[in-house]
Amino acid sequence: MADKLLSRYEELKALVNLHNYRYHVLDAPVISDLEYDRLLNELKKIEADHPDWITPDSPTQRAGAKVSEKFEKVRHPGPILSLANAFGADDARAWFERIKKLDDRVEKAKFVVEPKIDGLSVVLHYRDGQFVQGATRGDGEVGEDITTNLRTVKTIPLKIPVDSKKSTVTSIPKHLVVRGEAFIPIKDFESLNKKLEEAGEKTYLNPRNTAAGSLRQLDPQLTASRPITMLVYQIVHSEGSDVPTSQWEILEYLKSLGFPVTDISKRFNHLKDAIAYAETFEKGRDALPYEADGMVIKIDDLSLAADLGFVGKDPRGAIAFKFPAREVTTTLLGIDVEVGRTGVLTPRAQLEAVEIGGVIVRNATLHNFDYIEEKDIRIGDRVLVKRAGEVIPYVIGPVVDARTGKEKKYKPPAKCPACGQDVEHFEGEVAWYCVNAACPAQLVRNVEHFVSRGTMDIVGLGIKIVEQLIEAGLVKDVADLFTLNKKDLLELEGFAEKKAENLLGSIEQAKGQSLNRLIAALGIHGVGEVMAGDLARTYGNLSALSKAKIDELQQIEGVGPNIAESIADWFSRSANQKLLKKLKAAGVDPQMMKDERKKEGAFTGLTFVVTGTLPSFSRDDAKEFIENNGGKVTDSVSKKTSYLVLGENPGSKYEKAKSLGVKIIDEAGLKRLAK
């Protein structure tokens, strides 16, 4: 019996690892997420009953490790070499001429061209197919042991071959050491930064430093939360079984074992074709999903490459065909400050115009005010500016040696540049905010938020019309929307009878929107749709909410001291008080009745998170359905989440729910549960 269970356990580990690989490396899953969950849950159940069976190659062990004190040192089995650079085709040809003189075989050599990813070089050790150790490059001889962090990288196989049925490799070395580049894809980097920005947290500078920093810190949970992946390109060492002797076959071999390998590499019989191929990427580098600073041209025959030896740390058998740098120096003429929808202030560098990779750059981001301080960036400085991929150019830092003494230290504004109100800082965040709801720079964004689908849902009021209304002086705050009349509208360009009537009709309808929606529409810092619902149920109307004290607000689940303060602060401002009065006078003062406020039903006490597209419910429908049954909907998955409602193309919430063991149901399951 136990034997049978043990073999099922082995089978499950292999299956889950295989489906992980199909999903993350091949991008070609063959089972549904629900089926995957079933396998994972079965595996977890066995592990819970038999903790002594758990082995490090179990997919449940990817993020289980604890924070460590420091990294141990690892001696590499062979030198982890670097690459010499070629800047352009002439340099590459000169390299070829040089090595041709050293060995006759070079004349007829083939070449492999690969991307040169700008990431962190890592070295992975496998013993009897098990991933046992991973290290940084370090000084090329000794690196740091970052095994527990690397284990959290889903594209790194924990056991090879991942798919033993498909792999053409029959016997794997007893000890196999491979090398590759760990990195964060550009898109993932951008969405990571967007999330951090929305949370008022520090954003990251660039994908490379973020990947390197996340792998070289002591908490594996943090690494697991960063979208790191890797591509493998070299066998550093192998024992106990033969491995291929050409670079092209090495890539095939690694792929067959289940390692992530680039799919844009190609083999050529002539250097000129290899150069031409590398050049096509120079032009199209923005289309690559990761940051690449060049292509690598490698002699395919690895024994020839080895015989050519190396110069210092650079092997003669390969060359980095570098793309022109996208870092330039220019003068920082000034710093201006932009005001976003939530009032967040972002410093922006005004630069002396400079060309970077075919684009004229006049502005670059400076991230936040702390960044300017930390890097000691001064106005008048020569600064190093980088443009990478499609990411907005950013200032790397000052060229301190170029200072003349005339540079001026920058002081962040104490007042909002658009409205003159004092700026504010929230505990625990790096951002500074303008909290004046009537700030003109925020007004457009505020009105846009107020009328959007998730809040007051005023149909027919797009951004263009919002701008027109503000420009004409008809709307100075969101309450002015409710006193617009036909005569005013007809004076605007593009407005005829019908259009004006339709718009006034939808504005009239919005007066009847629920209290939840109105609270969410106000755009109070930290108050999204979920919290707006909680506030509406607790207070029943805006007048009661506006009198709530900080400690009282904190009694509500999910409201911490910062949000409580932000709510109380918003209502204490005279401009906002005036706004509420105007709304009330215009007939916008929704009440939530006592019986509505305490909904009891099949879902009472349960918390739901919805992800992906559901077959018949829209997001709002699903929310309403859950709330009507007494349940609560939140945005993020935690241990407290009772159910994840799963639709098509789910986001990262799905992964999180799986890792926390949260129950997962589909729309039909949700409906059944309500009965």
The contact set with ligand IVH (CB under 6 A) reads 81-83, 114, 116-117, 121, 181, 233-234, 296, 315, 318, 320
CB contact at 8 A, 492 and 469? yes
Q: Least Å distance between CB 118 and ligand IVH?
A: 7
Residue placing its CB nearer to ligand IVH in the complex, 250 or 345? 250
H helical segments located in 608-662:
619-628, 652-660
Residue placing its CB nearer to ligand IVH in the complex, 215 or 592? 215
Q: Least Å distance between CB 116 and ligand IVH?
A: 4
Residue 413: C-alpha distances to residues 347, 420, 423, 432, 575 (Å) = 10, 10, 8, 10, 21
Helix axis angle for 89-102 and 271-283, nearest 10°, is 150
Residue placing its CB nearer to ligand IVH in the complex, 262 or 346? 262
Residue placing its CB nearer to ligand IVH in the complex, 119 or 413? 119
Q: Which two tokens stand for residue 548?
A: 């709530």
Q: How far apart are CA 133 and CA 128, in angstroms?
A: 12
Residue placing its CB nearer to ligand IVH in the complex, 290 or 450? 290
Q: How far apart are CA 14 and CA 61, in angstroms?
A: 13
**Sign of the four-CA dihedral 296, 298, 302, 304:** negative
Q: Which two tokens stand for residue 561?
A: 């001291």
Residue 300: C-alpha distances to residues 105, 303, 326, 600 (Å) = 12, 9, 30, 70
Q: Least Å distance between CB 399 and ligand IVH?
A: 23
Q: How far apart are CA 39 and CA 547, in angstroms?
A: 52
Residue placing its CB nearer to ligand IVH in the complex, 129 or 207? 207
Q: Which residues contact 23 (CB under 8 A, 6 or more apart)?
A: 29, 36
Q: Least Å distance between CB 25 and ligand IVH?
A: 17
Assess whether 671 carries a catalytic annotation. no
Q: Which strands sit side by side in the sheet containing 120-127, from one edge to the other?
A: 130-136, 120-127, 175-183, 229-239
Residue placing its CB nearer to ligand IVH in the complex, 178 or 335? 178
Residue placing its CB nearer to ligand IVH in the complex, 252 or 338? 252
Q: How far apart are CA 128 and CA 372, in angstroms?
A: 50
Ramachandran sector of residue 158 (left: φ over 0; alpha: ψ -120 to 50; beta: rest) = alpha
Q: Least Å distance between CB 655 and ligand IVH?
A: 27
3-class SS of residue 113: strand
| Active-site entry in 13, 116, 159, 653 | 116
Residue placing its CB nearer to ligand IVH in the complex, 233 or 394? 233
Residue placing its CB nearer to ligand IVH in the complex, 82 or 468? 82
Residue 532: C-alpha distances to residues 195, 336, 446, 560 (Å) = 20, 34, 16, 14
CB contact at 8 A, 111 and 49? no
Q: Least Å distance between CB 555 and ligand IVH?
A: 53
3-class SS of residue 363: strand
- CB-based closest residue to ligand IVH: 121
How many DSSP H helices and E strands does the chain contain?
25, 24
Pairing of strands 130-136, 142-144: unpaired
Residue among 478, 509, 504 at smallest CA distance from 582: 478
Residue placing its CB nearer to ligand IVH in the complex, 323 or 433? 323
Q: Which residues pair with 124 in a beta bridge?
A: 134, 178
Angle at 119 between CA 193 and CA 109, to 5 degrees: 145
Q: Least Å distance between CB 284 and ligand IVH?
A: 17
Q: How far apart are CA 242 and CA 379, in angstroms?
A: 60
DSSP 139-197: TSSEEEB-HHHHHT-TTS-SBSSSSTTT----S--SEEEEEEEEE--HHHHHHHHHHHH
Q: Least Å distance between CB 83 and ligand IVH?
A: 4
Q: Least Å distance between CB 409 and ligand IVH?
A: 36
CB contact at 8 A, 304 and 103? yes
Q: Least Å distance between CB 235 and ligand IVH?
A: 10
Q: How far apart are CA 52 and CA 50, in angstroms?
A: 5
DSSP 51-76: GGG--TTSGGGTT-PPP-SSPPEEE-
**Phi/psi of residue 614, each to 5°?**
-90, 155
Residue 582: C-alpha distances to residues 50, 389, 445, 480, 591 (Å) = 65, 47, 20, 8, 16
Q: Least Å distance between CB 261 and ligand IVH?
A: 10
**Positions marked catalytic:** 116
